[in-house]
């Protein structure tokens, strides 16, 4: 059986997802065959060029056209957050399976509507998944396996960080990710959502409440430059306000009693994509840093002290999650492979008639934490119960 895929968006995430759809059948035995039917974008010239470059059979200038096509069964949403709810709900109502980039929406209310639409569609066999790709990094999946196996015992502490430096320069332009009406929030929603989901996934528990603070360090940025016409040069279009956070810090308590501390910032000079997670338990600890993404560090606290300490596990063995589909041991994987694993798991779930994790309900749970952090930051860091803001 073949399933036609329609992708909405051709920028960074659109390219990453396109690579996944091109590659997945070459490395995994799949119960269904994905066909890259069409890509949708607003600019006809750019969208047609993207179709040729990225491997899509056709292009559309209106995402609604994808929902009308009988040869498309899956809608993959890679647009800014302000359009997620409209596209996803319409696609589910049209009977299309949906993958939607993170964070699920820009507000809790939008996420609730999306989760409700997904639950309703599931009754008719239509599936939906939110694209938290870091769950599919083999080392992160192995960390989850260790927790499930009880290797860490009772979880006491969880530390999550996502550190980047791409907007430290105040001359960096006012792109859509720095505008609240497009992105919903800044570092908190864009990269903080990842550490929330990764932490909750690995420890198998949800945050119950948080206390946080946010800050915008550069409050005005240059608008995108525009063409100056006949000269072919560019001119400054002035500046505009940054309406999202540059950094967010928060502490939290998990439902099971573990304490958590989280940091998301785009102002960590020298850090490019340092998603880090450390989990400390009664019987052991583990540590992961995406900038060394094939490594998982594990400490077995049940060993004698003379044999203790963190040891490095190179997560490339055939019996490690996902790794056996790729290269011989020691031949590391990269960022792009997490998206291949993502669409593989989605296709298997659709074929088996089950809901693929993380579900829209899982995406809503992350959205509720984001909202609680924002509410806390707006009220002098008071403790805010998740779902009870």
Taking only the tens place, the pLDDT of each residue in 328-368 is 999 999 999 999 999 999 999 999 999 999 999 999 999 99
The yes-or-no verdict on residue 228 having pLDDT over 50 is no
86-101 average pLDDT score: 98
211 — pLDDT class (breaks 50, 70, 90)? very high
Give residue-wise pLDDT tens across range 249-275: 999 999 999 999 999 999 999 999 999
pTM summary value = 0.94
The yes-or-no verdict on residue 28 having pLDDT over 60 is yes
Structure tokens at 29: 């035995």
Q: What is the mean pLDDT of the chain?
A: 95
220-227 average pLDDT score: 76
236 — pLDDT class (breaks 50, 70, 90)? low
Give pLDDT, residue 224.
76
Dist CA 369 CA 239 (whole Å): 32
Structure tokens at 112: 């609730």
Give pLDDT, residue 289.
98
Dist CA 126 CA 350 (whole Å): 8
The yes-or-no verdict on residue 389 having pLDDT over 70 is no
Give pLDDT, residue 237.
72
CATH code for the structural domain at 136-358+365-377: 3.30.360.10
387 — pLDDT class (breaks 50, 70, 90)? confident
225 — pLDDT class (breaks 50, 70, 90)? low
235 — pLDDT class (breaks 50, 70, 90)? very low
For 238-244, the CB contacts below 8 A with 24+ separation are 239/174, 240/174, 242/174, 242/178, 242/179, 242/186, 242/216, 242/218, 243/178, 243/179, 243/180, 243/181, 244/177, 244/178, 244/179, 244/180, 244/183, 244/184, 244/185, 244/186, 244/187, 244/188, 244/189, 244/216
Beta carbons of 358 and 135 less than 8 angstroms apart: yes
Burial 102-137 (b: 16+ CB within 10 A, else e): bbbbbbbebbbbbbebbeebbeeebbbbbbbbbbbb
Give pLDDT, residue 258.
98
Query: How is domain 2-134 classified at the CATH fold level?
Result: Rossmann fold (3.40.50)
97-102 average pLDDT score: 98
88-99 average pLDDT score: 98
- Domain residue ranges of the chain, discontinuous segments joined by +: 2-134, 136-358+365-377
The yes-or-no verdict on residue 229 having pLDDT over 50 is no
Instruction: Please name the residues in contact with 27: beta carbons below 8 A apart, sequence gap of 6 or more.
Output: 325, 326, 340
DSSP conformation class of 386: T
Nearest partner of 78 among 15, 164, 5, judged by Cα: 15
């Amino acid at each position: 059986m073949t399933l036609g895929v329609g992708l909405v968006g051709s920028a960074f995430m659109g390219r990453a997802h396109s690579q996944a759809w091109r590659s997945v059948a070459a490395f995994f035995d799949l119960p269904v065959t994905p066909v890259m039917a069409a890509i949708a974008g607003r600019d006809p010239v750019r969208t047609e060029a993207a179709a040729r470059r990225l491997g899509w059979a056709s292009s559309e200038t209106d995402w609604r056209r994808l929902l009308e096509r009988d040869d498309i069964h899956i809608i993959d949403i890679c647009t800014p957050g302000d359009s997620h709810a409209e596209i996803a709900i319409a696609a589910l109502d049209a009977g299309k399976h949906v993958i939607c980039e993170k964070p699920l929406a820009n507000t809790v209310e939008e996420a609730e509507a999306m989760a409700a639409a997904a639950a309703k569609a599931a009754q008719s066999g239509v599936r939906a998944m939110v694209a938290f790709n870091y769950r599919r990094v083999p080392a992160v999946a192995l960390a989850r396996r260790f927790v499930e196996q009880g290797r860490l015992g009772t979880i006491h502490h969880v530390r999550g960080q996502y550190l980047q430096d791409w907007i430290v320069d105040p001359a960096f332009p006012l792109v859509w990710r720095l505008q609240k009406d497009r992105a919903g929030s800044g570092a908190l929603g864009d990269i903080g959502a990842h550490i929330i989901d990764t932490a909750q996934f690995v420890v198998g528990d949800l945050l119950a409440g948080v206390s946080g603070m946010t800050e915008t360090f550069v409050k005005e940025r240059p608008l995108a430059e525009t063409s100056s016409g006949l000269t072919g040069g560019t001119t400054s279009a002035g500046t505009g306000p940054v309406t999202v956070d540059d950094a967010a810090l928060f502490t939290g308590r998990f439902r099971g009693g573990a304490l958590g501390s989280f940091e998301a910032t785009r102002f960590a000079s020298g850090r490019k994509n340092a998603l880090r997670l450390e989990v400390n338990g009664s019987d052991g600890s583990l540590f992961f840093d995406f900038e060394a993404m094939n490594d998982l560090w594990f400490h077995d606290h049940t060993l004698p002290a003379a044999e203790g300490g963190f040891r490095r596990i190179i997560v490339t063995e055939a019996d490690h999650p996902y790794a056996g589909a790729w290269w011989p041991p020691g031949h590391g994987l990269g960022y792009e492979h997490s998206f291949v694993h993502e669409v593989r798991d989605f296709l298997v779930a659709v074929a088996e008639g089950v809901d693929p994790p993380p579900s829209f309900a899982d995406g809503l749970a992350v959205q509720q934490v984001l909202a609680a952090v924002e509410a806390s930051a707006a009220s002098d860091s008071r403790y805010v119960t998740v779902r009870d803001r």
